[in-house]
């Protein structure tokens, strides 16, 4: 591993996945008569008891609207909500004013496209993304480009799923007004050399947005060291609740950007002659936010801190290496995504069995994997497949989970033997 600030950090601590499992009530259940083996963590992770308790405690004791009441419950709700913002900020080394709560990564990217994008991208300009983006870092830019008459340019990837940096250099030009890049690919697992990409883009004065949905749970993110302009993430991929996430943006960007949604909380004053915007980050948080969700997000980051991100990353790297080796041994299997730097995502296809059939047979054995295009259809098109089977790992997975996956895949092979 390199010493890059965003690489999976080496850690002296080791985690015990069996101890951690006990903190996740959902993992105790049986599925189709088998103990649940949950390997769909890139879609969403399960939630530890501390997160579930934080949600329950909020609704049982503190529920009230934030930023507006003088009464005690409203003050407690506001304090907890703002404490969660400070936790998110600390987790990525930002200041709390630079953290906007959103519904998740998707909404964070849309916010940047519709506010910063509309302000900076004009007819004849370009937005640059990579060939390994999730749809949520493609479609918002397509909508913007169609609206203003700009072009979407694409950085190619090689057969392993590694970003082609030489091609990036050729694509960087004064026309490009923003570069959007996935930090870790959900379909391939590739962990991109984001510090280097940001350095090259900034040398041309081009701001960079990173889609951190898959990186935040696995790699140390330091927005200051990266000097990244925008960082989008979702709580539910990092052991937190669904429907909440965050956008980090440099303060000077947030201050210069126009609001993208209007309503309560985002204003200082309103009159029919005109309105004045609230200070950042509230300017971008119109309406009652997902207060419980934000508090749950904070609790999830506390949980990750208590286990240690470095220990989680090291554990997942071990599982990925073991799973890669075992799945490779199976006949007629092709791995999709073999980059040297990866997070815990193993995508593959069988030559002769459709991924959906594989997924259905695995489910019958209690093994939950994702099959499909993973909202990354350009990646599927790049490898000439309609879909892949994807196993993705989290802190609570074990080698026994990988063995159950491989046993299930052997059963698939048996069934489809010709
Ligand atoms: N970006 C990446 C890289 C993702 O993996 C996802 C979700 C998103 C953005 C969108 O996140 P959201 O929280 O706003 O929905 N990825 C997946 C997946 O791989 N399977 O289900 C959702």
Could you tell me the distance, in angstroms and rounded to a whole number, from the CA of residue 214 to the centre of ligand 1?
Answer: 7
pLDDT in tens, 43-58: 999 999 999 999 999 9
Q: Any alpha helices (H) in 93-171, and if so which ranges?
A: 105-112, 118-120, 139-148, 165-171
Predicted local confidence at residue 81, as pLDDT: 98
Query: Counting atoms of ligand 1 from 1, which one is nearest the CA of 392?
Result: 19
* Strands 126-130 and 99-102, sheet pairing: unpaired
pLDDT in tens, 138-186: 999 999 999 999 999 999 999 999 999 999 999 999 999 999 999 999 9
Ordered structural domains, the chain, with CATH: 17-47+308-416 (3.90.1150.10), 51-305 (3.40.640.10)
Ligand 1 atom closest to 183 (CA) = 3
Active site residue 375: yes
pLDDT of residue 6: 35
Please classify residue 58 by burial: count the beta carbons closer than 10 Å to its beta carbon, then call 0-12 exposed, 13-18 middle and 19+ buried. Answer: buried
Could you say which residues of the chain have pLDDT below 50? 1-11
Query: How many angstroms does the Cα of residue 271 sit away from the middle of ligand 1?
Result: 39
10 Å CB burial of residue 64 (0-12, 13-18, 19+) is middle
Among residues 248, 122, 228, which one has the least CA distance to residue 179?
A: 228
Enter the tokens of residue 93: 């080394």
Give the relative orientation of helices 399-415 and 309-328 as an angle to the nearest 10 degrees: 30
pTM of the model: 0.96
Query: So what's the pLDDT on residue 416?
Result: 87
Q: Give which of 368, 239, 393 is closest to 316, Cα–Cα.
A: 393
Instruction: Please report the pLDDT score of residue 9 as a whole number.
Output: 42
Instruction: Tell how far the Cα of 73 is from the centroid of ligand 1, in angstroms.
Output: 34
């Amino acid at each position: 591993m390199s010493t890059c600030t965003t690489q999976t950090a080496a850690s002296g601590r080791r985690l015990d996945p069996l101890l951690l499992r006990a903190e996740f009530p959902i993992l105790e259940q049986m599925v189709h008569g088998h103990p649940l083996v949950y390997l769909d963590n890139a879609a969403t992770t399960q939630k530890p008891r501390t997160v579930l308790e934080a949600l329950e405690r909020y609704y049982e004791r503190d529920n009230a609207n934030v930023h507006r009441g003088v009464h005690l419950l409203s003050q407690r709700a506001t304090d907890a909500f703002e404490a969660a913002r400070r936790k998110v900020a600390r987790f990525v080394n930002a200041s709390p004013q630079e953290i906007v709560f959103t519904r998740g990564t998707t909404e964070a990217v849309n916010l940047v496209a519709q506010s910063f994008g509309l302000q900076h991208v004009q007819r004849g300009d370009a937005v640059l993304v990579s060939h390994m983006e999730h749809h949520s870092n493609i479609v918002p830019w397509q909508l913007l480009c169609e609206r203003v008459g700009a072009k979407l340019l694409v950085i190619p990837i090689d057969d392993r799923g590694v970003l082609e940096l030489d091609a990036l250099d050729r694509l960087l030009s004064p026309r490009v007004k923003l570069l959007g890049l996935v930090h870790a690919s959900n379909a391939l697992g590739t962990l991109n050399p984001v510090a280097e990409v940001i350095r090259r883009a900034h040398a041309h004065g081009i701001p960079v947005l990173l889609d951190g949905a898959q990186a935040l749970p696995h790699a140390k993110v330091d927005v200051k060291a990266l000097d990244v302009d925008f960082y989008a993430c979702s709580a539910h991929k990092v052991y937190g609740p669904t429907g909440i996430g965050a956008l980090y943006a440099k303060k000077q960007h947030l201050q210069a950007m126009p609001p993208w949604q209007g309503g309560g909380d985002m204003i200082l004053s309103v009159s029919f002659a005109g309105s004045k915007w609230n200070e950042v980050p509230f300017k971008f948080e119109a309406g009652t936010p997902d207060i419980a969700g934000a508090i749950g997000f904070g609790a999830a980051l506390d949980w990750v801190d208590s286990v240690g991100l470095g220990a989680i990353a090291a554990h997942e790297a071990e599982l990925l290496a073991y799973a890669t080796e075992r799945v490779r041994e199976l006949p007629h299997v092709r791995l999709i995504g073999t980059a040297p730097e990866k997070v815990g995502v193993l995508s593959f296809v069988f030559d002769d069995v459709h991924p959906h059939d594989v997924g259905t047979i695995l489910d019958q054995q209690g093994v939950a994997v994702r099959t499909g295009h993973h909202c990354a259809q350009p990646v599927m098109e790049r490898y000439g497949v309609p879909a892949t089977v994807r196993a993705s790992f989290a802190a609570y997975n074990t080698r026994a989970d990988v063995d159950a996956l491989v046993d299930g895949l052997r059963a698939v092979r048996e069934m489809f033997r010709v």
